[in-house]
Amino acid sequence: MNEEDRMGKEVAKLLNLGLADIDQNTLYRLQMVRRSVLENYQPNEQIFHVGRGISAHSGYGWFFARANKLVFSLVILLILMVSLHLKSNYDIDENAALDTMLLADDLPIDVYLSDEFDLWLDSPR
């Protein structure tokens, strides 16, 4: 039992000593106030004692409760930006690709048969 638990039990004993002197009307009002407070109570975080004076918290506030959605959104945005950057900066020019295939002798038969290819061959550079 740690110091906090011991202190809490001592305070509870002291409060219980004066319980016999409280009249019924005051006791009823205290119960009503306690009930209304407990109905509106919403704990933000829970503290778990995990041993030897070490505590673990279950909640970390607004940011950490929504951090997974924020990180997911940032990753999606980053992927989108990188893909747009790669697409805009590394587009293959069709003429350069055609020149490369022509030099490597990898052109398909359809290219040789098209009229545009003949015009391209005849065009001065």
| Per-residue pLDDT tens digits for 6-54 | 888 888 888 777 777 788 888 888 889 888 888 887 666 666 666 666 6
Q: Which amino acid is at 68?
A: N
pLDDT at 85: 86
Distance separating alpha carbons of residues 28 and 103, to the nearest angstrom: 98
pTM of the complete model: 0.31
Spans of all domains in the chain: 3-42, 92-125
Non-local (6+) Cβ contacts of 45 within 8 A are 57, 58, 59, 60
pLDDT at 86: 83
Q: What is the mean pLDDT of the chain?
A: 77
Tokens of 37: 């407070």
Distance separating alpha carbons of residues 30 and 58, to the nearest angstrom: 30
pLDDT at 81: 94
